[in-house]
Structure 1
Amino acid sequence: MCGIVGAVSQRNIVPILIEGLKRLEYRGYDSCGVAVHQGGELKRARSTSRVAELHSQTAEDGIASGTGIAHTRWATHGVPAVHNAHPHFSHGPNAAADSVGRIALVHNGIIENHDELRHELKAKGYQFSSQTDTEVIAHLVDHLYHGDLLEAVQAALPRLKGAYAIAVFCRDEPHRVIAAREGSPLVLGVGTEAGQGENFVASDAMALAGVTDQIVYLEEGDVVDLQLGRYWLSHRNAETGRFESVMREVRTVHAHSGAAELGPYRHYMQKEIFEQPVAIANTLDAVAGITPELFGDGAYRIFKEIDSVLILACGTSYYSGSTAKYWLESIAKIPTSVEIASEYRYRDSVPNPRTLVVTISQSGETADTLAALKHARALGMKHTLTVCNVATSAMVRECELAYITRAGAEIGVASTKAFTTQLVGLFMLTLALAQTRGHLSDEQEAEHLKALRHLPVAVQAVLALEPQVIAWSEEFARKENALFLGRGLHYPIALEGALKLKEISYIHAEAYPAGELKHGPLALVTAEMPVVTVAPNDALLEKLKSNMQEVRARGGQLYVFADGDTQIESEPGLHVIRMPEHYGALSPILHVIPLQLLAYHTACARGTDVDKPRNLAKSVTVE
């Protein structure tokens, strides 16, 4: 979600801060800003436009320094406006709200007790110039500052309730930045440029790509003190409340740049849709056979101990988990439940210590999913596994086992290749559990592996349908509503198709199990309501055909993605795009791709910002 970059150096770090923000633009944001220590004072530039505009503003204002912090904001408290944009300055007691104080601060996350702290600080004479929860932290640090910034930050942190990653510097202490995290990701970058003595902090290692590859992943409760040529790490002891010195491993991380070339594509989303054959091939690259060890050391023992699976995820990842439920129960014969992570942690549930808790996340930093994982562990469910696209993420570090998808950097906010590679990873998990539980014969294993290895070619054939999908998109672009139908294994795929359409085209779309039409949604069907239907040639096909007739009898317009041997033909009111082949259990991976293309080209026809849809962020690191 929001992005943080900070640095201390002998050289001007403003270009580094700006470039770091550009690398984080894919996350989504509605304002941005940079603040530096310059000429013994705090200076800043803020904008509700793009980072490129902020770059121009810093150049025009002559902002340059060896100490600074920068931020991209996705609005939570307060509308997207310059006065709410980060960095925030403190305004000393009884000072004017537009004055320049001594503390500059950026923040990711949400401070839940900000109203209480705001009331307390106002009583002490502090003036507020924004509606954000972040400004409260800046004033609190200022109030607690007595000549040592680290001590002030360490005194302030126990007062904060909620989630945060912060970076802060003080007018009175040049070449020093303090950063801390609790519930939001943050990394330390150890400088490698000779003679500069520089160190960095960022919300994502990607922000520091090309600057340093020496990365320390800060843990919950960590505080880092960055100075020229050195840094100190401390950690708050949960029992004593005191901060104690700690050591963390420095890793060499070759982060991918968020500024990847588009090549011949109009948008990153289109590029990433067409990268799916390669992404799937890369995800399967090291798979020679089905073995629990694909998920980490000790996987066989854990798989033998469990008797159920609990999947925790949000958004698109929740739909991949919902698809996996069908696989796990039909192939591995193991009871499986799928929970929306943000709901699971706040309801009373019945824990089972023999459950395998599976989290799914593209970024591995999704706040709700991380919190749900910790909640499940607190209930006594110790066996954990994640399917994740980022090997260095918090999710991977928190779980016993992991399957790393190799989709590569996904820039578009609407997930495409991350989703299909998640499905591949979850199918591999299904086969590994089936094998461990004695439900996978050698012949079945060979058959499934053959199908998996053919997937990239099969996906390529589906992508060739793009011209037909473009023709449909011109019709959809004139609509304001759409229904998506699927049955069984393909119902979650219909949900994902509806989500994609609403995310980037802003057309209201809903998905239903096709058998539910007559229980309510059929009331919505008119000639103006396109009904997208996922129609594989499976055991539910004849039932699905009956549901389609219900739509036609009410004058609805059907748009059907049908397998070649379904005997569904185009005619007035019934539009058919024929899929190249039926793909059995792996059919959802093929059927979701034309739904991605339909959403993409409809959004293009409507002229929306495909890669950065309004109000949405790529990495959701707040609750």
Structure 2
Amino acid sequence: MCGIVGAIADRDVVPVLVEGLKRLEYRGYDSAGIAVLDDGVVRRVRRTGRVAEMESAAQAENFHAAVGIGHTRWATHGGVTEANAHPHISQGVALVHNGIIENHEEQREKLRAMGYVFESETDTEVIAHLIDSHLSRGAGLLAAVQQAVAELHGAYALAVVSQKEPGRLVAARMGCPLLVGLGDGENFVASDVSAIIQATRRVIFLEEGDTADITRDQVQVFDGAGAAVERDVHVSDVSLASLELGPYRHFMQKEIHEQPRAIADTIEAVIDNGAFAPELFGADAAEVLRDIEGVQILACGTSYYAGLTARYWIEAIAGLPCSVEIASEYRYRTAVANPKHLVVTISQSGETLDTMEALKYARSLGHDRTLSICNVPESAIPRASRLVYYTRAGAEIGVASTKAFTTQLVALFTLTATLAKLHGRLDATQEAEHLDALRHLPGSVQHALNLEPQVTGWAERFAPKDNALFLGRGVHYPIALEGALKLKEISYIHAEAYPAGELKHGPLALVDEAMPVVVIAPNDRLLEKVKSNMQEVRARGGELFVFTDEDSHFGPSDGVHVIRAPRHVGVLSPIVHTIPVQLLAYHVALARGTDVDKPRNLAKSVTVE
């Protein structure tokens, strides 16, 4: 999605805004911009591309001011153009926005009738004009923002300045994270503490529906009803941030929302290297990986589903046979070993007993080409493996794995591309395309998080259910498996997943009006097949809940509910489509009142058989 930073001070805040945007660039870098109040007049600079390009333009135009806002964008509504870049301006109002406004078309028509002219394709410009319309009727900036957001449906984090009140910065939040940073004679706003850590560690996490009135010397927070409230002040320690809930209700919710950053950190070495290189996996990785004849993946639970996804990638892209096995089964069967197969073990904790024992068994059979994908440095499984790739997801406290899973997928895709390159199946053009896809992945995941309000609406329909089916085809079938597992783990609804083509071979007998059916249906080559499977469900009275893409060319209808991502992201689509199934499980669990972070009968690190 996007990143927000804002500042009001007695000093020039432009360096603060630029540095903050650089720290937020993992959220998206289709464009970047800042708007400042210079002698009470709004000045703005925007550029497509990276923050550095915008920074150069700001320097060339001698930008400096004591009040300003900034934004780095991942395009949703409207293409990658300077006109669609933030901040957006209406008269003397400048605004930056994270999120999606669902009723923007309705508001756009109303505002056009009032005489407003739109210069962009974005939903954000609607908010700027709406705030100005309230200002023009005599409201102050704070009241104008509060009145405007009351007319919006969807998710937003906003930072707003106006030349009518140059000593004020107003922020608002619903569905998208936003915090206020507290300084001495200066204050800040940001979507992530990393954006302002260079200026302050004292932060207030805004809660759902909050607005904040920010001046140099004071911060006042108001709840959704407009009442003044006190929010706790936290002293941020970035090394301990993963251990704090912040503005979230549960660690699982927090960790779902941490995925853009976790993915960005996991791919950092690849992006910095500018190539898929075996050295990313260890000093002697080139020797280990160059002449392997196949891949054997061993894992448990969610990590096993990551391996199933990787099988599609490894065979299609690297051209190597790949088998995936549950570690607890592999360790107790008589396996036929091929020493030229790479054995990949996947574990979030690095301590999973069944996976560790499976690795020992593989080594006893003569497998010395071993690779661990793990989130915990120096844990047991990496120490027992010849090669290692650390996922850098940070501490994951919620029992139901979220960011560990998506970062495992990133690591496995990196392995796939590296193997393909070593085996002559990835040319320079293809490598550049895959690197570009990885660069854009954090932004794509952030946008998927913006679907949360829509997913929340589905949760109430699921909460009374006792059973659910999940369907997917091809590389998205393991994501259906993961969605069913998440729903089982934390809501205690019995859920099963099937390849959609298998529906008619048995599971269709379960389908009736009481059985919700979740379908992963991105716009890929199997979409038409999935549509046929969906018709099989509707013909038996089943209710469909479909996660798809904007360009899939089908919409909601009677008994068919649809949530769309804005664009199909190609080979990395399974990672993006993981987000809504995680959110669905989380919000269904909330609706049912279960213990989200500590589901019954489960533990985080499984160190027993």
Structure-2 change in CA distance of 1:308 and 1:255 (3 Å): farther
Q: RMSD of aligned C-alpha atoms?
A: 1.3
The aligned residue for residue 283 of structure 1 is 266
Is residue 2:466 matched to residue 1:480?
A: yes
Is residue 2:428 matched to residue 1:437?
A: no
Is residue 2:543 matched to residue 1:543?
A: no
Do the aligned residues in 2 keep the contact of 1:258 with 1:411 (CA within 8 Å)?
no
**Structure 1 residue 305: Cα displacement:** 2.7
Q: Deviations over 1:499-533 (max 9, x none)?
A: 00000000000000000000000000000100000
SS of equivalent residue, structure 1 residue 301: helix
Distance of 1:262 and 1:535 partners within structure 2: 33
- Selected match of 1:586 from 572, 576, 582: 572
SS of equivalent residue, structure 2 residue 407: helix
Q: Which amino acid aligns with 1:393?
A: S
Q: Which amino acid aligns with 1:357?
A: V
Q: Deviations over 1:75-120 (max 9, x none)?
A: xxxxxxxxxxxxxxxxxxxxxxxxxxxxxxxxxxxxxxxxxxxxxx
Distance of 1:452 and 1:257 partners within structure 2: 27
Is residue 2:401 matched to residue 1:412?
A: no
- Selected match of 2:479 from 493, 505, 510: 493
Q: Which amino acid aligns with 2:595?
A: D
The aligned residue for residue 303 of structure 1 is 289
Distance of 1:598 and 1:588 partners within structure 2: 16
Greater CA drift, 491-500 or 537-546: 537-546
Q: Deviations over 1:189-227 (max 9, x none)?
A: xxxxxxxxxxxxxxxxxxxxxxxxxxxxxxxxxxxxxxx
Q: Which amino acid aligns with 1:274?
A: H
Distance of 2:339 and 2:393 partners within structure 1: 32
SS of equivalent residue, structure 2 residue 362: helix
Identity %: 70
The aligned residue for residue 412 of structure 2 is 426
Q: Deviations over 1:392-414 (max 9, x none)?
A: 10111000001100100000000
Is residue 2:458 matched to residue 1:458?
A: no
**Structure 1 residue 323: Cα displacement:** 0.2
Mapping of residues 147-158 of structure 1, within 5 Å: none
**Structure 1 residue 562: Cα displacement:** 0.8
**Structure 1 residue 593: Cα displacement:** 0.3
Is residue 2:259 matched to residue 1:273?
A: no
SS of equivalent residue, structure 2 residue 318: coil
Mapping of residues 69-148 of structure 1, within 5 Å: none
Q: Which amino acid aligns with 2:264?
A: A
Mapping of residues 96-495 of structure 1, within 5 Å: 260-287=243-270, 288=273, 289-495=275-481
SS of equivalent residue, structure 2 residue 345: strand
Distance of 1:258 and 1:407 partners within structure 2: 12
Do the aligned residues in 2 keep the contact of 1:486 with 1:493 (CA within 8 Å)?
yes
SS of equivalent residue, structure 2 residue 337: coil
- Selected match of 2:559 from 559, 573, 594: 573
- Selected match of 1:513 from 486, 499, 521: 499
**Structure 1 residue 284: Cα displacement:** 1.0
Q: Deviations over 1:149-207 (max 9, x none)?
A: xxxxxxxxxxxxxxxxxxxxxxxxxxxxxxxxxxxxxxxxxxxxxxxxxxxxxxxxxxx
The aligned residue for residue 605 of structure 2 is 619
TM-score, structure 1 length as denominator? 0.59
SS of equivalent residue, structure 2 residue 243: coil
5+ residue gaps, structure 2: 1-236
Structure-2 change in CA distance of 1:481 and 1:417 (3 Å): same
Q: Which amino acid aligns with 2:496?
A: E
**Structure 1 residue 304: Cα displacement:** 1.6
Distance of 2:605 and 2:238 partners within structure 1: 16
TM-score, structure 2 length as denominator? 0.60
**Structure 1 residue 261: Cα displacement:** 1.2
Distance of 1:449 and 1:597 partners within structure 2: 27
Q: Which amino acid aligns with 1:534?
A: I
Q: Which amino acid aligns with 2:460?
A: E
The aligned residue for residue 541 of structure 2 is 555
SS of equivalent residue, structure 1 residue 277: helix
Distance of 1:257 and 1:619 partners within structure 2: 20
The aligned residue for residue 151 of structure 1 is none
Structure-2 change in CA distance of 1:610 and 1:399 (3 Å): same
Distance of 1:259 and 1:540 partners within structure 2: 39
Distance of 1:332 and 1:259 partners within structure 2: 35
Structure-2 change in CA distance of 1:602 and 1:440 (3 Å): same
Do the aligned residues in 2 keep the contact of 1:258 with 1:409 (CA within 8 Å)?
no
Q: Which amino acid aligns with 1:318?
A: Y
Do the aligned residues in 2 keep the contact of 1:256 with 1:409 (CA within 8 Å)?
no
Distance of 1:270 and 1:357 partners within structure 2: 33
Q: Deviations over 1:401-428 (max 9, x none)?
A: 0110010000000000000000000000
Distance of 2:256 and 2:345 partners within structure 1: 24
SS of equivalent residue, structure 1 residue 337: strand
Distance of 1:594 and 1:259 partners within structure 2: 22
Distance of 1:607 and 1:259 partners within structure 2: 24
Distance of 2:243 and 2:323 partners within structure 1: 37
Count of residue pairs the alignment pairs up: 370
Distance of 2:287 and 2:596 partners within structure 1: 45
Greater CA drift, 564-573 or 551-560: 564-573
- Selected match of 2:517 from 521, 531, 534: 531
Runs of 4+ in 1 over 3 A off after TM superposition: 254-259
Do the aligned residues in 2 keep the contact of 1:290 with 1:432 (CA within 8 Å)?
yes
Do the aligned residues in 1 keep the contact of 2:242 with 2:395 (CA within 8 Å)?
no
SS of equivalent residue, structure 1 residue 284: helix
Q: Which amino acid aligns with 1:341?
A: A
Do the aligned residues in 1 keep the contact of 2:242 with 2:396 (CA within 8 Å)?
no
SS of equivalent residue, structure 1 residue 501: helix
